[in-house]
Amino acid sequence: MEEFRRAYVQLCKESGTQPQETVLQQLHELREGPGQSRLDFATQSLSVDTCRVLGKLLQDEILFTEIMLSDCMLNEEGVRHLLNGLCSNTVVKSLDLKGNNLRALGAEALGKLLRQNKSIRSLTLEWNSLGMWEEGFSLFCQGLGANRFLQWLDLRNNQINHQGAGELAMALKCNSSLQELDLRWNNIGLLGGRALLSCLHSNKTLKRLELAGNNVPSDILKAVEQAMNHNQDRQTILAENHSRTRVLSKEVFSLKEEKAKQFLDLMDTIDKQKEEITKSSRTSAARVGQLQEALNERQSVMNSLKAKLQMTEAALALSEQKVQNLGELLSATKQEQASMTECQLKELRQQKQEAAGRETKLLQDLSAANEKNLLLRNQVDELERRCKAQQDQLFQVKQDLTNTTAELKLRAVQAEERLGMEKKRFKQGLEDVESLRLKEVDHMTHHMEASERSMQERIQRLEAIRIGLEEELSRVKAAAFAERGQAEEELIKVRGQARLEEQQHLDHLEEKLRLMTQSRDEAQNYCLQQKQAVGEAQAKVSQLTLQTEGLKRRMEELQKDLSGKEQEKVAEVNKVRVELQEQIGHLQAERTAQEGLKEKIAALERQLKALSSNHREALLDKESEISTLQEKLRMKEAEISRMREEEAHRASFLQNAIMAYVQGSALGPLSPRK
């Protein structure tokens, strides 16, 4: 408030006028008062210069919402300055110009104010003379007709005649914001009342019209009162309808948002399920590739084992031949020993007297040699039994290997068939999901195009989003294929490494076989040496015993070596069996994992079906709700149109009755002036 006072003093100095003391005193009182939003200059006489300064100040003033200028005896020039300043003001809500004797210029300035100002809601013009000049009042009425913000207008005691009432009626036909109009204590008369009554057929916003003290007949007053009641009822109905339409629009908007959210959630769930399905397909393809690689590796291992078995069979055949050769050598040695014994007996008979002690020794040696020969025979028999047992074991191993290869082949074929079936089911599921999604999108687009245009734009956007998502899916598929190629390359590398390891293992086994062949060659060489020793034993019996003992020791060592080799073979066969069992266990575990994946895929398909059914039910529910709401709106609109027709019919009937009454009877007594 102090700033307003300082600005007033400054403008007075700039314009070369003296500040008015009453204005300064009033501003000082307003500064000390509790309320600062009301500018009250009532009963204060304001000069033209003061009005000019106040008009300039009020152009951009945002402090005052109510201005009181009643009974200020303003000059028309001063009123013009004040009202021109208020034309650009956007804060003032109430203006009181009571008792200022406004005339033609004031009416023109008020018309300009009503055309340009957009903030004034209440205007008090009581005890003025606006109706005395027809041109000025017509400009005022034109401004009133163009105004869309004024709600309360007081025109009491303004000397308005029936022509001014006609101008007001024309203005009220164009005005759509005025709610209360006070025209008491004017000179409207019968014609003015008829004009105002006729304008009420088109004006539906005016709720209160005071016409007392205007020489208006009572029937017109009653008709005006009925029209006001009708407007009030219409305003209440319109307010209720507006509130209901707001509520319905909010509900429809919320339903639209819920539908959009549900659609987006459905698209997100479909995309997530597609991603999960693609991931599961990738994992299943990778596992299938691993299984195929494992099967290939097992086949290579089986082939290598077959080759090893063939080599072991050849080695066993050679060992059998060696055993036969050793048996023949033993029989030859026996025959030679028998012949040597006979020769020795003959020599002993001849030399009984010379070598009695030697005969006893030789007899003892011969008995020991016979015992050793028997032991050798027993050992040879045991070796033959062991060879037969080894042959039986090798035959059993061959049968086991053939059975395992057949089972692996059958399992590989079954796995390939299951993979083909799973791929077909997966493709069929994807096609079903895609067709369902396309059908749902088509249904939603048709329904929303029929219901509202805004939903069509929304669906088009969602379609664009869907296309983008499909493009992203294609890109993700391309990336998945690239990853699959990389995985295949890695698998090829792993296969190469496995093959290298297998080759190293084969080299190791070949080295073992080479060592065995070397040991076998050494045994053959040793046998040849034994043959030479036996030839020498024919000449020297004493050396034969020693050589037989060496042969026994060598045979024991050979038996130990053979037992060790047999144990190594058995251990290797057991290792191969354990590895085959482990591989079979891995294959069974992978099979169970594939069955789990199949169950997951079936569960996901069931979830997709449930979600799609729920979404369809929700869409149907929302569509039924929207249809019911639209039906309610149509019913309300039908009721409003029916009420409008009834009111128009009532007004026409009332107008006809009034005209008949006026034409058929004389004018009644005028109402007394208050």
Q: For tokens 């691993």, what's the residue? A: 290
The neighbour count for residue 439, using CB atoms within 10 Å, is 12
With 60 as the cut, is the pLDDT of residue 35 above it?
no
292: tokens are 């195929």
| pLDDT tens track for 592-626 | 887 888 888 888 888 888 887 887 887 888 888 88
Query: Which amino acid type is present at position 203?
Result: N
Q: Is pLDDT at 531 greater than 80 in this prediction?
A: no
The tens digit of pLDDT for each residue in 364-416 reads 877 776 788 788 778 877 877 877 877 777 788 778 777 877 777 787 688 67
Q: What pLDDT is stored for residue 16 in this prediction?
A: 86
Q: What percent of the chain has pLDDT over 70?
A: 92
Predicted confidence at residue 186, as pLDDT, reads 93
pLDDT at 193 over 90: yes
Please write the tens of the pLDDT for every residue from 421-453: 877 887 787 788 777 777 876 776 677 666 667
| Whole-angstrom distance, CA of residue 605 vs CA of residue 149 | 62
**Residue 198 Cα distances to 220, 389, 407, 418, angstroms:** 10, 130, 105, 89
566-588: pLDDT as tens digits: 788 788 778 878 887 887 888 88
Mean pLDDT for 343-366 is 75
- Scan for tokens 């914001």, then name that residue: 177
Per-residue pLDDT of 303-336, as tens digits, reads 888 888 888 888 788 878 887 888 788 888 788 8
Q: What is the mean pLDDT of the chain?
A: 83
- Model confidence at 672, pLDDT cuts 50, 70, 90, reads very low
- Residues 288, 415: contact at Cβ < 8 Å? yes
Q: CA 440, CA 608: separation in Å to the nearest integer? A: 13
Average pLDDT of the segment spanning 524-539: 73
Would you place residue 219 in the very low, low, confident or very high pLDDT band (cuts 50, 70, 90)?
very high
Quick one: pLDDT at residue 667? 47
Which pLDDT score is estimated for 518? 83
User: Between 663 and 230, where is the model more confident?
Assistant: 230
- Binned at pLDDT 50, 70 and 90, residue 665 comes out as low
What is the four-CA torsion angle of 252, 255, 260, 263, rounded to 10 degrees? -140
Q: Show the tokens assigned to 518.
A: 């070397």
